[in-house]
């Protein structure tokens, strides 16, 4: 049984259709990525999933049915807009949030010590939240989300403000939670983290779902939509190319759906002042796919994964 089942939910605010018929399931032990550009409807979808907003139509089931107080205690939610009280110390605010989820003070403090130590916050426990760096506040927010050992984790931009060492630590913790059988819904703009962690993803754009399925199947379904070029000269404005970006000394080109890499190569060869040392059709990254789907904006669903079917928009 899916931990979360969202069925054809829609939400309108005045004249704005924020979400239009979005559906997805998330299973126990799964790390699920909910993705989309700014203003796409991700936050509204999350709020409907968590019963903060009521959908205009459609339904949400969590742990097999509607939300109730017991189920809400099994939830750990970290919104993008952080919610720690800034004028309180960590030693005050974190046990308080644990108490809201049903832990008594003694148990909350017993669990808090190891988390503070793991996040290197023990010596800062008596500081007010406002006195902490952004990265420290982020780590404290993660502790508040995890301390009651929830069965469902919904985390929005979990890597915000973290240095590479703490980013790796948070990735390890997310994977540990999944390995323990907990369900994780993650929203982030860091596509490489999604690629490293998520089993499946849903991409929403302009309120509608446009890509849904297993990461591995999605990448295979978009094979040929990315090119790596080692070259000198101007690579901007090529026909069939959506985005050109520099990475590790090479040029990474995201192609339009259906664009032929050979046509791109021919256009490069004909361009004055361009010298090509290497041209390689590569497996697209999720970032390449994200750019292709969002910029083309077809509005049609590409669904890959559970039925092992590939449908191109």
pLDDT digits (tens, 9 = 90+) for 216-254: 888 888 877 889 999 999 999 999 999 898 888 899 998
Cα–Cα distance for residue pair 162/119, rounded to 1 Å: 11
Tell me phi and psi for residue 212, to 5 degrees: -150, 125
User: Per-residue pLDDT tens for 168-210?
Assistant: 999 999 999 999 999 999 998 888 899 999 999 999 999 999 9
> Between vectors from CA 155 to CA 151 and to CA 158, what angle results, nearest 5°?
130
- Can you give the pLDDT at residue 301? 47
The closest of 164, 173, 217 to 197, measured between CA atoms, is 173
- Average pLDDT score over residue span 93-105: 93
- Can you give the pLDDT at residue 88? 94
Six token digits for residue 248: 């590790």
- Confidence class for position 258, pLDDT limits 50, 70, 90: confident
**Adjacent-strand bridge partners of 244:** 253
Query: What is the pTM assigned to this prediction?
Result: 0.81
Contacting residues for 51 by C-beta, under 8 A, at least 6 apart: 60, 66, 67
Contacting residues for 33 by C-beta, under 8 A, at least 6 apart: 186, 187, 188, 194, 197, 198, 200, 201, 202, 215
Where do we find the tokens 């793991």?
Answer: 118
- Can you give the pLDDT at residue 179? 97
């Amino acid at each position: 049984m899916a931990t979360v089942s969202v069925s054809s939910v829609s939400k309108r605010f005045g004249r704005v259709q924020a979400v239009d018929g979005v559906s997805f399931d998330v299973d126990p032990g799964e790390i699920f990525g909910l993705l989309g550009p700014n203003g796409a409807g991700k936050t509204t979808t999350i709020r409907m999933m968590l019963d903060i907003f009521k959908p205009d139509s459609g339904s949400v089931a969590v742990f097999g049915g509607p939300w109730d107080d017991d189920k809400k205690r099994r939830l750990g939610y970290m919104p993008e807009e952080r919610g720690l009280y800034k004028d309180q110390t960590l030693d005050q605010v974190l046990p308080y949030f644990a108490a809201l989820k049903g832990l008594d003070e003694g148990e909350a403090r017993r669990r808090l010590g190891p988390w503070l130590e793991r996040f290197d916050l023990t010596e800062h426990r008596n500081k007010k939240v406002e006195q902490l760096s952004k990265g420290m506040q982020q780590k404290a927010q993660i502790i508040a989300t995890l301390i009651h050992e929830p069965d469902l984790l919904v985390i929005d931009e979990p890597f915000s403000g973290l240095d590479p060492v703490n980013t790796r630590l948070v990735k390890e913790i997310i994977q540990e939670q999944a390995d323990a059988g907990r369900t994780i819904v993650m929203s982030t703009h860091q596509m490489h983290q999604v690629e490293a962690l998520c089993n499946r993803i849903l991409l929403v754009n302009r309120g509608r779902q446009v890509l849904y399925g297993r990461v591995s199947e999605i990448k295979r379904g978009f094979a040929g939509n990315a090119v790596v070029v080692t070259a000198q000269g101007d690579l901007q404005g090529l026909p069939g190319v959506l985005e050109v970006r520099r990475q590790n000394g090479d040029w990474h080109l995201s192609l339009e759906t259906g664009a032929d890499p050979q046509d791109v190569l021919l256009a490069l060869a004909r361009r004055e002042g361009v010298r090509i040392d290497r041209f390689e059709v590569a497996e697209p990254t999720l970032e390449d796919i994200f750019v292709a789907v969002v910029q083309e904006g077809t509005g049609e669903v590409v669904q890959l994964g559970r039925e092992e079917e590939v449908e191109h928009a």
